[in-house]
Amino acid sequence: MKHWIERIADDLNEKDVPEHIIASGTSISGSIHIGNSCDIFIANAVTKALQKLNDESKTIWIADDHDPLRKVPYPLPESYEKYLGIPYSQIPCPEGCCSNFVEHFEKPLLSLLENFGIELEVYSGAEMYKDGVYDDYIRTALENAPKIREIFNKFREHPLKDNWLPYNPICSECGRVNTTYAHSFEGDTVYYSCKCGHKGEMDIKSGEGKLTWRVEWAARWKIFNITCEPFGKDHAASGGSYDVSKIISREIYGYDAPYPVPYEWITLKGEAMSKSHGVFFTPGQWLEIAEPETLNYFIFRNKPLKHKDFDPTMPFLDFIEQYDRVERIYYSAEEPTSEKEGEKLKKIYEASQINLEESMPFQPSYRFLTVAYQIAGNDPSKIYEILKKNSQLPKEMEDKDFKEMETKDLERFTRRIEHVKNWLEIYAPEFVKFQVQKKLPRVEINDQQKEFLLKVADLLEKKDYDTEEFYDEMYLVIHDLDMKPQKAFQAIYKVITGKKQGPRAASFVLSLDKDLVIRRFRMKD
């Protein structure tokens, strides 16, 4: 059984090319999120899979920074509407911290790619135009404008005008690129009119203009000798960008289109990600709450065209538990439900790893840490003792003290604690949060609840329990008192945190200082 990334690499491996160039590209129209950066993650994974086959291969990333601003991205003010239609590369930085708009939004992504083990060559579309990289391709497109119009019109409901040219100059009057119409050319001079009323001319060598997208895409394939490119499903629609650019690439530039890897959009809590509406989640935000490998797992666990929804609130805990289970299965610490499932999950895990460990990494439960952190605070040694008390450590660590932890285990442990801390502060729903009160909260509990707490206090005074044993003992008390479990557990939470709900009661109680719990249950503190 092979992962879909390996199957793509196998297909590419059959092509007789000196080097595979796997391309990715992003429009710099605002914050780069986990949805529109999928190109990069998939391209990098394909490159690595090819390198395992001893194929010469590299990943490139092209910033589409010469495109016009179509919507003001969040959180920029409405005043930025004056830049609508202006190429991103010519818009100032919104906070004055970078050289321009493009650097402001691409820097947060490029600065952390190393965390994901991603190596790529970075190119700027705007710089390519200024450096003359596109000049010959612009000339070819202009000379073949009638043929390009014919190709476009096959896929259009309303045909293009007979004088339409596949090129958009930047208006020398208003600075916009999406309001100009190039209608004729002579040598390297293009004549145009703009919706602002200006009529002008420009030299293509100035870099102050750009090929229309589908022609530019085809030209780019030839420029870099691109052999494979992932892209969003909108480009893959029938009659869409890929279909048109594929024909232009072959018939105008004499180059076979690269191997396509279309992918489905990632939604955020069921909503389409939108830079203009502020609905997005970035790779940087991901690293605040989890290891980089978990984002790889999120992207690679399903085929690229399968729908993916991300929710950083409560469902995130389930997601991390799924990842941890896959990790345990990979290292044979847990049995899969079937041999087939085991093979599949091991392939997904391998594809997700940046540096594959020889033995299973330390894996404290993320969900349990959300409880332990709120009890012990940001003290790894105290959290470690809570894990030990609740049988949450692997067997080989059960008899070890915190100071005896191996460096790699300690590093992963402290990182996960930091992730949990950030998740609690930023994404955790209020019902998950609690604080152990320093004094007995002013709460109302009935006589039956008081009797339950007293009996549980007696249990705790007799001996030390493991979680399962204590859970069973509490249920015996609940049964003897003919109580509803919900009412019994509410009493525990009320006298400890002042709330009606909280973490799983047995492990929660055993995680706390025993003397404190006994005093609270006897209503003495």
For residue 248, CA distances in Å to 143, 232, 327, 357, 451 come to 13, 20, 45, 46, 81
Contact 197, 172 (CB under 8 A): no
d(CA 239, CA 31): 29
Class of the domain covering 447-521: mainly alpha
Q: Which residues of 328-344 are buried (b: 16+ CB within 10 A; e: fewer)?
A: bbbeeeeebeeeeebeb
Contact 236, 260 (CB under 8 A): yes
Closest residue by Cα to residue 62 from 132, 133, 124: 124
Q: Both tokens of residue 38?
A: 């999928």
Q: Could you read off the pLDDT tens digit of each residue along the chain, which spans 525 residues?
A: 899 999 999 999 999 999 999 999 999 999 999 999 999 999 999 999 999 998 899 999 999 999 999 999 999 998 999 999 999 999 999 999 999 999 999 999 999 999 999 999 999 999 999 999 999 999 999 999 999 999 999 999 999 999 999 999 999 999 999 999 999 999 999 999 999 999 999 999 999 999 999 999 999 999 999 999 999 999 999 999 999 999 999 999 999 999 999 999 999 999 999 988 889 999 999 999 999 999 999 999 999 999 999 999 999 999 999 999 999 999 999 999 999 999 999 999 999 999 999 999 999 999 999 999 999 999 999 999 999 999 899 998 989 999 999 999 999 999 999 999 999 999 999 999 999 999 999 989 999 999 999 999 999 999 999 999 999 999 999 999 999 999 999 999 999 999 999 999 999 999 999 999 999 999 987
d(CA 268, CA 271): 5
Q: Is 400 annotated as a binding residue?
A: no
d(CA 148, CA 139): 13
CA 314 to chain centre: 17
Q: Both tokens of residue 117?
A: 């083990």
For residue 465, CA distances in Å to 311, 462, 478 come to 36, 10, 17
DSSP 67: S
Phi and psi for 127 in degrees, rounded to 5?
-65, -35
In sequence order, the β-bridge partners of residue 230 are: 261
Residue 170 belongs to what H/E stretch?
A: none
Q: Which residue has the tokens 């180059």?
A: 255
CA end-to-end distance (rounded Å), the chain: 61
Q: Which residues of 12-25 are buried (b: 16+ CB within 10 A; e: fewer)?
A: beeeeeeebbbbbb
Closest residue by Cα to residue 28 from 122, 116, 113, 112: 122
Instruction: Using CB atoms within 10 Å of the CB of residue 32, give its burial: 0 to 12 exposed, 13 to 18 middle, 19+ buried.
Output: buried
Residues 6+ apart with CB under 8 A from 418: none
DSSP conformation letters of 15-64: S--S-EEEEEEEE-SS---TTTTHHHHHHHHHHHHHHHTT--EEEEEEEE
Contact 466, 391 (CB under 8 A): yes
The pLDDT, as a whole number, for residue 456 is 97
Residues 6+ apart with CB under 8 A from 183: 163, 164, 165, 191, 192, 193
The pLDDT, as a whole number, for residue 277 is 86
How many CB atoms neighbour CB 304 within 10 A? 18
For residue 197, CA distances in Å to 175, 186, 203 come to 12, 22, 20
Look up the CATH superfamily of 4-134+213-272.
HUPs (3.40.50.620)
d(CA 132, CA 111): 28
